[in-house]
């Protein structure tokens, strides 16, 4: 089985939304959680992420991408805390095997304690 299938399975199984963009800010992939989260906006794959944000947010997105480009060590940055959903949101760099920046994605980390019971097979 191809390694790509394993990585896709990890992203698709994540309960948090994952939106992956290329360096032209085009949305190239959304996991099922992201499609659910942003369903009211319609199909976003193939569209510009910049069309989903206001001018200030677009300015910050571009600054983060420029920061990612400055160094292979610049790979993740905290962008905001969403109080309503009790989560932190980050932008993370995506790099090729040689360390070149190829894109970025939005990473959500929820602060709520898990309510699922341990090893609940029911």
pLDDT tens, position by position, 40-58:
999 999 999 999 999 999 9
Helices (H), the chain: 3-13, 32-37, 55-70
Average pLDDT over residues 21-47: 97
**How far, rounded to the nearest angstrom, does the alpha carbon of residue 86 sit from its chain's CA centroid?**
17
Domain that holds residue 50: 3-110
In a domain, 119, yes or no: no
Q: What percent of the chain shows pLDDT beyond 90?
A: 91
Q: What is the CATH number of the domain that holds 74?
A: 3.30.450.20
What pLDDT is recorded for position 114? 87
In a domain, 101, yes or no: yes
In a domain, 121, yes or no: no
Give the count of domains, the chain: 1
Q: Is the pTM of this model over 0.85?
A: yes
> Does residue 1 carry a pLDDT above 70?
no
């Amino acid at each position: 089985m191809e390694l790509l299938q394993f990585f896709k399975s990890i992203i698709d199984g994540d309960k948090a939304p994952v939106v992956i963009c290329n360096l032209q800010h085009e949305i190239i992939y959304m996991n099922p959680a992201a499609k659910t989260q942003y369903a009211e906006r319609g199909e976003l794959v193939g569209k510009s992420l910049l069309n989903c944000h206001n001018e200030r947010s677009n300015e910050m997105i571009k600054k983060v991408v420029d920061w990612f480009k400055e160094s292979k060590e610049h790979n993740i940055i905290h962008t905001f805390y969403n109080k309503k959903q009790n989560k932190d949101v980050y932008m993370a760099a995506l790099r090729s095997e040689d360390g070149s920046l190829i894109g970025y994605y939005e990473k959500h980390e929820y602060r709520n304690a898990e309510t699922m019971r341990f090893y609940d097979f029911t």
